[in-house]
Chains A and B, each alone.
Chain A
């Protein structure tokens, strides 16, 4: 951001101070994530940079914690990863189905009590997770679903749908309803219209809502802590236990994998957002 030549000195100084502040904040935001990378390749057991690492001595680095993560006998990371993916995938499917259909209804101008219903549907996102956890635990215990995959999936659908509702409603806000009327006038039935006309147009919103739901379920720890038994352990639960008891470098190896995963998700979400904006004719 170059300043015009005529800028007075004290504004010039102020401008550089402003840029420095911004740089510091960006550093504060992103730097902590990068501490994890090198330390997960530490050859030693301590969570500090060893002298060897500071000298970039190749012997100070190793993949032993990644080996421990995959082959370690004591570590239930395999089971946890399997559970996490199964739960997140089913929760995402449930959230996307329920959320998209609801968003279609909510964006209709005929929808009665829109504000109130929206407030109820969004509430799981706003209410502190600890309260949701307690409430959902009571329900699942009564329904006999505590410590089952089904129970956790249902809980995560509750937590994930608000994101789908929000993203899909946002996509639908720029939706030209005359195309569906055109389809209807050409003899298409509503289901056919939805599958062939509406869905392809709102797909970016649906997928990015799905990504949110996936991440919500995949990272969720508070509610699972109440619901999960030993069989239903997930990656967040294992990390939570690990962080509480002893911070081992294996956790950092897992954390590194999670950062890679979240980077992939971020890139997908960004690409979708841009595609959606292009489709809706928002050019920047």
Chain B
């Protein structure tokens, strides 16, 4: 019995299986074509730029391109003693070209990142090199400043030879590669970034905990109240949700200031004396309070949507089987809400870990997060590659949580409003 005999044919004489596959494929292409415009748009304007950030964070071609001859002649130099005349000569010619193109300032900035003290000696070299005579550049350059005769500075130049670097990532973790190529911590009093990372995690964690503790009871109330009342109360959750972040931050700035209403209240009930008002703004407290209130709706909504689906008869059944209301709650109700807890906590944590506006306005120096540092380097120091590196370190953390979220909740299950 051959399989041909069993095949069902369509009216066109094509086997049904083939015809069906063709139709399915057509549908697949159709569906994909609908998604394609947005997918392409997001990939071009969003995914590629993030890739570009990655390139920038490891890109170190600038110095490599500025000193091509120097690096070529340095290839044979072992870095133990001062480089030979040919390196000095190559460096002199590279440097002359940079002066012509007026780029020697950039070189000094770049080299100063690698080792402090380059700025002044490059300036000096620029002045003196005008009167250089041909030949014996080693002597002449070394005579400009004693640091030019220091092998450490030449090693620093050589370290910038590769076109790619992971220095910015090390810097983001307060580490650097020393002269011997070992990765070491920076001096204790200069470790700023680790403190920021830890503080970001700490604030994101506690904000999540506070949000959970506050959201759980009200989500439960909203889910169990009759529709009539719960719709009204839901406005208390949704109005802040729809209100501008800046408006909400502004209201906290008014409330928390030293002459603000919260302090007035504390004075009134005698918690603090009038001349001893608490500073609640421009420090961690400000960040905690404002972020908790702002992120609270993101915890309430997922919890509410899960609690809404739990039948009240389950609690009644638990109680009728002899459990006290507390045991019934803990053994029956609470486990059923865990998906909502997971969704809410992950969402709030993700949002909190990348928060920028609120900490910048109410956080002061002790309440700022890693995002503020990224913005600082983007806008003030203009060290964009470092900002990119820190951004990607933060992003990789967020993506891990995003992946977890997708595993546990599924992104197509995100509910809004």
Contacts and interface: CB of A to CB of B under 8 A. Distances in A.
In this complex, the member of B38, B48, B237, B361 whose beta carbon has the largest number of chain A beta carbons within 10 angstroms is: B38
Interface stretch (B60-68, B98-106, B182-190, B406-414): B406-414
B46 interface: yes
Nearest to B39: A117
B247 A255 contact: yes
Contacts, number: 271
Contacts of A124: 42, 46
Interface stretch (A60-68, A75-83, A157-165): A157-165
A219 B248 CA distance: 11
A35 interface: yes
A139 to B, nearest CB: 4
A128 B34 contact: no
A205 B170 CA distance: 46
A1 interface: yes
A112 B237 contact: no
A36 B254 contact: yes
Interface stretch (B69-77, B86-94, B149-157, B394-402): B394-402
Interface residues of B, number: 92
B28 interface: yes
A139 B45 contact: yes
Given A135-B52, A247-B250, A255-B247, A119 B35 contact: no
Contact of B49 (A120, A139, A157): A139
Interface stretch (A180-188, A195-203, A265-273): A265-273
A33 B38 contact: no
Given A126-B398, A131-B395, A36 B250 contact: yes
A166 B410 CA distance: 12
Interface in A96-154: 98-99, 101-102, 104-106, 108, 110-112, 115, 117-124, 126-132, 134-139, 142, 154
The 10 closest A-B pairs by CB, nearest first: A128-B354, A105-B34, A105-B35, A135-B49, A108-B31, A102-B38, A139-B49, A110-B27, A32-B251, A130-B371
26 contacts: A26-B218, A29-B236, A29-B293, A29-B296, A30-B236, A32-B248, A36-B251, A39-B254, A47-B254, A102-B34, A105-B35, A126-B398, A126-B402, A126-B405, A128-B371, A130-B374, A130-B394, A132-B46, A138-B49, A158-B45, A208-B417, A221-B357, A244-B361, A255-B247, A263-B239, A266-B238
Interface of A: 1, 11, 18-19, 21-22, 25-26, 28-30, 32-33, 35-36, 39, 46-49, 98-99, 101-102, 104-106, 108, 110-112, 115, 117-124, 126-132, 134-139, 142, 154-155, 157-158, 161, 163, 165-167, 169-170, 208, 212, 215, 218-219, 221-222, 225-226, 236, 239-240, 243-244, 247, 251-252, 255, 258-259, 262-263, 265-266, 269-270, 273, 284
